[in-house]
Structure 1
Amino acid sequence: MFNKFTTILQQAVEALAPDAPLHEDFVYHWKSVTNFYIENTDDKTPVSDSNIPSHLKQMLQILIQEEDEREAGDTGPCMEYLLQHKILETLHTLGRADCPPGMKQQVLIFFKNLLGKIKQPLLPHINVHRPVSRLVQVCGEVQAAPTEVEEISFLCTVCARLKREPHLINFFLGNEQAKAADKTKSPTETNHVSESSSSNETQPKEGYDLVDSLLNLSRSEDGRVAVKACEGLLLLVSTPHEAAARATVQDTALCPLLNTRLTNLFTALPTSLDPTDVDCVTVKWGLDSHSYSHSDARNFVGKRALVSFLSWFDYCDQLVMEAFQDCGDFIAQSIAENFFAKTLLGPLVQADERASLTTTAVLAKLFSMVRSKALTRKMINFVVGESQSNEDSCPTLLTQILSRCDHFSDEISIVTLRLFEVILFKPDSTAIDSLILRYLKDRAYHAKNPGNVVIQSSDELEWELEPGLDNPDPNSPTHSTPMKRSTSNTDIDNTGEAPNPKMLIQRSVNCFLSVLPDTAKSTQVNDDESGYDGYLREAHRTYKEICSTCREFDWPKPRNDILQAADRCQPVAVYNEGPFLTMLFNKLSSVLSQPYAVNLIVTSLASRLCLVPHPLLQELFANPLTPLRPKARSIFSVLQGVVEQITHRMVHVPNFKQRLLLARRKLAAGNEDDSPAHKTNSQMTSSLSGGPGVVANSNSDDHRTFLEGAIVLEEFCKELAAIAFVKHHAMAIHGL
């Protein structure tokens, strides 16, 4: 009480007294601090009961005022006094001893404000950077310390200062114990150690106390402190200083901490998570506390654990994305080796279907979240394998995952197909290159490939013309007529000249629209409810998005007049479409026998591949006019096979047309606002995901799966026609 009264009286006297020179005032306040230790023998009195906090605050205000009154870069007498009398060294000693109790907190506040509010460069002075560096070491020493908030505030201020002045980081790099040991060694010992180190080709660890302190505080039970510590690490990793960035990721416990926490949070996830719940969770690092509440209508068992895991993964991804130079690659490699390969791989391949289902759903979610290029590449390599030297080889993990696309459990098949859909359309060409393009690069599927000895014997081949190809009128009856078809997709004009782009667009669109007979359709192309216009709009939007994603890929541009196979292809005698295309074409061939939900994800994946702006995918997926060698498959040839199945089976279904229309109405009942015909497959997945529940009352209908498959195929053909139009038009008009 007496000390507080003295403080109030002192402030009143100072207010009434004439202003003293800043230097004298500064010296007075500092001597008042030191006099406290001379006059007081009770070291248990809290610092809050003394005048020390007030004097330190006044000293800081004087320094700020002095700097404001002088020219930039001009050091005033008060700052000179602080530097020459090693005031910061003294304060560090008092703070480390925490004498009187609470002094550490006051010292941290003073240092933080000094570095944050004084604009002139202070850290180059040895009497500043040395006590600051020593105070950094004190932070995080004690877990759950009462000064955690002040410690993290001080550390983040130091990080921000170093971010602005990265050349000063050298003052904070290195291990002081190692330096002291080096000083005590004789020159002979030093030379011997140097020679030994160079012979072993080992680099001594730098040591980075600032990172170590932040890592300690990142384990704090106080969420605010932990988040601020992670923000400080982000600042240090992104600082443009090669030695510091390397020391941060290689010479500290940063990477082990990232992987350990990822592992612990992942193993805490329940194995019974619903894939839909996993996909619907939206998280952002640092805001995970706002993503979960007990009143949340979307709560489910394990959501808290899932949000924590995904939030920490988002932070790891942010670190990789912000890291300086090659440090992001180092962090990504560490996560790939220590988390994905050692922790996630086991549950992903184990026989327990529930665990593998949850793990696959979580992996798909991680792929949808990852943004950094380095971590994306490592994750893709984890799934598809890094080695591409042997085209006949397929990594074991990829083989297992591909086999699950045709699992007897529809839920596992859907989640696995969803995983590939997310992987293939990340802004990285590795997945498409490894899974598809490396098998197509020689164009061995093309009828005029020089390796195709059957085609080499003749310039023309007997083909069975696809229905509607000979007549561009979509309303004309569909039929199959044997005729001579040129093996070049450009030589299809009777005049012998290559058709103009408009003709190519028309013929390609008509191929898809007329491949299914009118008798097997639930809508007519010219009907307002056919949905074709909706597919055109959606294809245009999605194509722009995919082109934007693939813009940085080193791919040639697709062209309508794709290069002549005989001139530009290497001879290939055997065509191998690869395990992924084999799986995809097999799933498309099974549309009539697969559940509705499986068909949606299969056709969604196929349609998105049709939109990829690569010449080979354009030729094999989106161009129905491409001539194929025997036994080679394309999207259009697979559709022809399915249509043939429909024409054979529909005659055995009583009242086929009426049942088909009824099945369509039942599927459309899942969305009252819009018809499924106006949805892309991905949109239909959400709006008609209740499809099985909607049509559950038709279980007595033995032909339900067949009818729903026919409807999916019909909508898929419309979507492919829209894609063909959009891509051909873009190539003809804009050269995309």
Structure 2
Amino acid sequence: MDMFNKVTAFLQQALETREPSINLLDSFVDNWKAITNYYIETTDESRPVKQTDIPWRLRQMLDILVYEETQQGEETGPCMEYLLQHKILETLCTLGKAQYPPGMSQQVMLFFSKVLSQIQKPVLHLINIYRPVQKLVHLCGLPDSKTETEESQFLFAVCTRVKKDPYVLNYILEITKDSQKRCGSTSDEAVEEGCSGASSPERAPSPPSPSSSAASSCSAQSGAHPSSSPQTATGIIPVLMHLGKSEKSRVMLRSMESLLLLVSLPQEDTGHLLADGTILCHLLAQRLTELYCLIPSSLDPADIHSYSCAQWRDQFTQDSTEESQSFPGSENVHRFFCFLDYCNELTKEAPRVLGVKMARAIHLQWLKGVIQPHLLQMSEVGILVHTALLSCSVRHIRSPALLEELVQFLLGSDTHCEQRQDTHSHILRYRLIEHCNHISDEISITTLRLFEELLQKPSKSILTNLVLRNLEKRSYRLPGSGVTDERHGVESDVLEESEELEEDPFFTDMYEDSGFGGQEPLLSLPSVRERHNPSAHTQVADIVNSFLCLVPQEAKTSHLVQGAGYDTYVHDAHKLLKECIALSRDWNWPDSAKTTESNPATDFYEGHFLQILFDRIARILEQPYELNLQVTSVLSKLAVFPHPHLHEYLLDPYISLSSGARSLFSTLVRVIGDLMQRIQHIHNVTDKLMMIRRQLMGLEEETMVDHVTLMKGVIVLEEFCKELAAIAFVKLPIEEQ
């Protein structure tokens, strides 16, 4: 019993002598006074802040504020009230600006960052919060700054808070009527500078020499403006763009993420605010132009074409950076395409009004201001490199707003039928199409690759501008002739051209051997009379066999090589067709061809683009192998699109062509006629063709063979005809449904 009483007495004494509970406000005030007393009492101004107790005191104050918020709920606690009433953040901002003690600015920025990120209640709308935040933003991005890491963390905290509470964006941007006027005038001047020399492209200056860096010629065209400097353009946007150029990858990443947070605010009014109240669009386009101008013009176009698509975060990963260093100048190429992808991301995530304005600024400053003069210059080396860079850029662009501006830049917006003499309505478009038929085979190949990249973009206007506007009236057909399902009752003289083809000894000879690939028989070929009211199967057989039988048997070699059969092309055509159907699903193309009127035929012109492609196909027997591959690749891309007029013009061998018109099939027929004349004078032509094919496949070492260009042309021609037959095979059943 005595022991029990002693324990009870001991516990009672402990309770009576326990330390009284800590008052949060007193502790907060004590920590703040300890900081202010340091400035009163200290005499050593060179002592670094980390050797004082200031960082510890600031951490204590932060912990108290966070703990108080969890205890107070919705109400503002006494410590936060004290911080606001006594303008503690204002004082800290002043101390950070003075850098006293040395390193104080880092501590201030860290404190601000943690307050903004750890306090959950909205605080940026309070004047004693956003005013010091504005002042601290002005201290960021200064020349030779030693605090870039802390600055990027602070700005990221600000942008994260704005993302959470979008209504405070106006406080952070510090937008006034005067600043809106300045930003508007800056945008206007950027437009004028971006367009100078571009509106009259014939007189656009050329780079001083093909091998020199593009930077000198770009600097005069980039639309630079003095307000792009963070010293003359205040606010968070110029600072973020400035830090986005930092050599420290973490600072650069944080800054780019911060800008993306601001731009991706979904409200339309914030989009208008950023578009009209800041120089964001101008700075973004200017940065893209700067990076493009750092790319050396001595690059090998093959290296550019082999460059894989980059994502903007790739530049911050060690492995990706090392992999990109594969050719001279690849670092500059990688940085440019990473930033182009970043522009993609910004314009996609931004509200429409902002995304469109950013894309427009990029169009004016980069595309028109820099790329266009290079494409219109006389130097073949310059044309080659910049066309390759543009082709790679087309592959990278995914943003709808950017793609729309790109198409407008390259092709214009004309939708009426082209005229042969119309070569000045859009000079760049016409010049690029001309480059597909350039005296330099390399330029032709590179430009054809550019158009092939364009044909893979989800833009209806590309197909309309290049091809479909010229086929809309179907004036390539003889007046009175109809589509396949309208042939019933048509007089036989309308199909005179088709009858002549079947009765020609050249064509009847081709049908004697109906084997293909050594395995597959051709589909049964109906007569002209049967085609007056054909079934779907008959139409498939009709068209597919027409392409498969074009190349004479003695010039065929694919059936002698394993894995080069027709089945492979059918599989690839199915895949391409699915992609094109998915691409054009929302383009509202008609399901069937437009009915033609029986009025007199108008002169048909296929348009500049198809004219060049057909001219190139007509010379397939005398052109380099790589060029032939590229021409046929572009035509195959066109043929697979599910538009009835495009299908009819490129894949129907039996359309009755109007006077002076030509189709893809009629062009190939003339090539075959030329081929038949040439191979008659070549001994053992099949053996030589087989040797060339095996060399192209890497199965034999290259040796000297007579007529090698012709032989390679024949091989490409055979493969192209199989490809067209496969495309027709997979498309016709769909169109007959």
Is the TM-score greater than 0.5?
Answer: yes
Q: Which moved more, 1:336-345 or 1:107-116?
A: 336-345
The one of 645, 656, 676 equivalent to 2:674 is 645
Tell me the residue number matched to 1:152.
152
Correspondences of 1:124-143 after superposition (within 5 Å): 124-140=125-141, 142-143=142-143
Q: Which amino acid aligns with 2:31?
A: H
Shift of residue 292, structure 1, vs aligned partner: 8.6
Tell me the residue number matched to 1:59.
61
Q: Distance in 2 between matches of 1:620 and 1:703?
A: 32
Correspondences of 1:43-122 after superposition (within 5 Å): 43-71=45-73, 73-122=74-123
Q: Which amino acid aligns with 1:436?
A: V
* CA distance 1:717–1:704, shift in 2 (3 Å): same
Correspondences of 1:230-249 after superposition (within 5 Å): 230-249=256-275
Shift of residue 539, structure 1, vs aligned partner: 1.0
The one of 13, 22, 25 equivalent to 2:24 is 22
Tell me the residue number matched to 1:40.
42
> 1:468·1:514 contact (CA, 8 Å) conserved in 2?
no
Q: Distance in 1 between matches of 2:698 and 2:169?
A: 65
The one of 308, 311, 314 equivalent to 2:338 is 311
> 1:443·1:449 contact (CA, 8 Å) conserved in 2?
no
Q: Which amino acid aligns with 1:63?
A: L
1:325-355 CA distances to partner (integer Å, 9 max, x unpaired)? 2222212222212222221122222221111
Tell me the residue number matched to 1:229.
255
Whether 1:444 aligns to 2:471 is no
1:269-302 CA distances to partner (integer Å, 9 max, x unpaired)? 3322111101122333243365899976973222
Q: Distance in 2 between matches of 1:727 and 1:545?
A: 13
Q: Which amino acid aligns with 2:569?
A: Y
Q: Distance in 1 between matches of 2:245 and 2:558?
A: 61
Runs of 4+ in 1 over 6 A off after TM superposition: 291-295, 456-459, 466-470, 472-475
1:459-515 CA distances to partner (integer Å, 9 max, x unpaired)? 734224486799x99994179xxxxxxxxxxx9885787433222222221121122
Shift of residue 594, structure 1, vs aligned partner: 0.9
Secondary structure of the corresponding residue to residue 497 of structure 2: strand
Q: Distance in 1 between matches of 2:433 and 2:662?
A: 19
Shift of residue 41, structure 1, vs aligned partner: 4.1
> 1:467·1:511 contact (CA, 8 Å) conserved in 2?
no
Secondary structure of the corresponding residue to residue 639 of structure 1: helix
Shift of residue 586, structure 1, vs aligned partner: 0.8
Q: Distance in 1 between matches of 2:395 and 2:165?
A: 36
Q: Which amino acid aligns with 2:609?
A: F
When normalised by structure 2's length, the TM-score is 0.80
> 2:291·2:332 contact (CA, 8 Å) conserved in 1?
yes
Tell me the residue number matched to 2:542.
507
* CA distance 1:523–1:175, shift in 2 (3 Å): closer
Q: Distance in 2 between matches of 1:125 and 1:42?
A: 36
Tell me the residue number matched to 1:171.
171
* CA distance 1:78–1:255, shift in 2 (3 Å): same
Secondary structure of the corresponding residue to residue 652 of structure 1: coil
The one of 300, 320, 323 equivalent to 1:274 is 300
1:627-655 CA distances to partner (integer Å, 9 max, x unpaired)? 32233222222221211122222211111
Q: Which moved more, 1:430-439 or 1:377-386?
A: 377-386
Shift of residue 233, structure 1, vs aligned partner: 1.9
Whether 1:590 aligns to 2:619 is yes
Correspondences of 1:399-418 after superposition (within 5 Å): 399-418=430-449
Shift of residue 362, structure 1, vs aligned partner: 0.7
Shift of residue 94, structure 1, vs aligned partner: 2.2
Q: Distance in 2 between matches of 1:579 and 1:252?
A: 42
Secondary structure of the corresponding residue to residue 352 of structure 2: coil
When normalised by structure 1's length, the TM-score is 0.80
Q: Distance in 1 between matches of 2:251 and 2:430?
A: 45
Q: Distance in 1 between matches of 2:601 and 2:530?
A: 32
Tell me the residue number matched to 1:720.
724
Shift of residue 421, structure 1, vs aligned partner: 0.8
Shift of residue 129, structure 1, vs aligned partner: 2.0
* CA distance 1:252–1:219, shift in 2 (3 Å): farther
* CA distance 1:298–1:121, shift in 2 (3 Å): closer
Secondary structure of the corresponding residue to residue 566 of structure 1: coil
Secondary structure of the corresponding residue to residue 594 of structure 1: coil
Shift of residue 429, structure 1, vs aligned partner: 1.8
The one of 334, 349, 356 equivalent to 1:322 is 349
Q: Distance in 2 between matches of 1:473 and 1:503?
A: 19
* CA distance 1:165–1:627, shift in 2 (3 Å): farther
> 2:314·2:321 contact (CA, 8 Å) conserved in 1?
no
Q: Distance in 2 between matches of 1:496 and 1:600?
A: 33
Tell me the residue number matched to 1:262.
288
The one of 660, 665, 682 equivalent to 1:636 is 665
> 1:442·1:572 contact (CA, 8 Å) conserved in 2?
no
**Number of residue pairs matched by the alignment:** 644
Secondary structure of the corresponding residue to residue 626 of structure 1: coil
Tell me the residue number matched to 1:611.
640
Tell me the residue number matched to 2:241.
215
Tell me the residue number matched to 1:665.
694
Q: Which amino acid aligns with 2:552?
A: P
1:154-191 CA distances to partner (integer Å, 9 max, x unpaired)? 11111111112111212224357969xxxxxxxxxxxx
Q: Which amino acid aligns with 1:274?
A: D
Q: Distance in 1 between matches of 2:33 and 2:324?
A: 62
Whether 1:331 aligns to 2:336 is no
* CA distance 1:461–1:611, shift in 2 (3 Å): closer
* CA distance 1:23–1:297, shift in 2 (3 Å): closer
* CA distance 1:59–1:630, shift in 2 (3 Å): same
Whether 1:462 aligns to 2:496 is yes
Q: Distance in 2 between matches of 1:466 and 1:44?
A: 100
> 2:315·2:321 contact (CA, 8 Å) conserved in 1?
no
Secondary structure of the corresponding residue to residue 558 of structure 2: coil
Tell me the residue number matched to 1:710.
714
* CA distance 1:247–1:215, shift in 2 (3 Å): farther
* CA distance 1:296–1:132, shift in 2 (3 Å): closer
> 2:498·2:654 contact (CA, 8 Å) conserved in 1?
no
Secondary structure of the corresponding residue to residue 496 of structure 2: strand
Q: Which amino acid aligns with 1:556?
A: P
> 1:467·1:478 contact (CA, 8 Å) conserved in 2?
no
* CA distance 1:145–1:117, shift in 2 (3 Å): same
Q: Which moved more, 1:496-505 or 1:590-599?
A: 496-505
Question: Unpaired segments of 5 or more residues in structure 2?
Answer: 1-17, 180-232, 483-489, 515-525
Shift of residue 102, structure 1, vs aligned partner: 1.8
Tell me the residue number matched to 1:366.
393
Q: Distance in 2 between matches of 1:376 and 1:573?
A: 34
Q: Which amino acid aligns with 2:25?
A: H
* CA distance 1:109–1:468, shift in 2 (3 Å): farther
> 2:558·2:565 contact (CA, 8 Å) conserved in 1?
no
Q: Distance in 1 between matches of 2:661 and 2:707?
A: 31
> 1:417·1:602 contact (CA, 8 Å) conserved in 2?
yes
Q: Which moved more, 1:309-318 or 1:271-280?
A: 309-318
* CA distance 1:52–1:246, shift in 2 (3 Å): same
Q: Distance in 2 between matches of 1:317 and 1:294?
A: 20
Q: Distance in 1 between matches of 2:662 and 2:177?
A: 68
1:187-220 CA distances to partner (integer Å, 9 max, x unpaired)? xxxxxxxxxxxxxxxxxxxx97121322332343
> 1:467·1:515 contact (CA, 8 Å) conserved in 2?
no
* CA distance 1:469–1:217, shift in 2 (3 Å): farther
Tell me the residue number matched to 1:182.
none
Q: Distance in 2 between matches of 1:274 and 1:292?
A: 24
Q: Distance in 2 between matches of 1:342 and 1:276?
A: 25
Q: Distance in 2 between matches of 1:436 and 1:269?
A: 34
1:374-394 CA distances to partner (integer Å, 9 max, x unpaired)? 221222222223344573233
Secondary structure of the corresponding residue to residue 597 of structure 2: helix
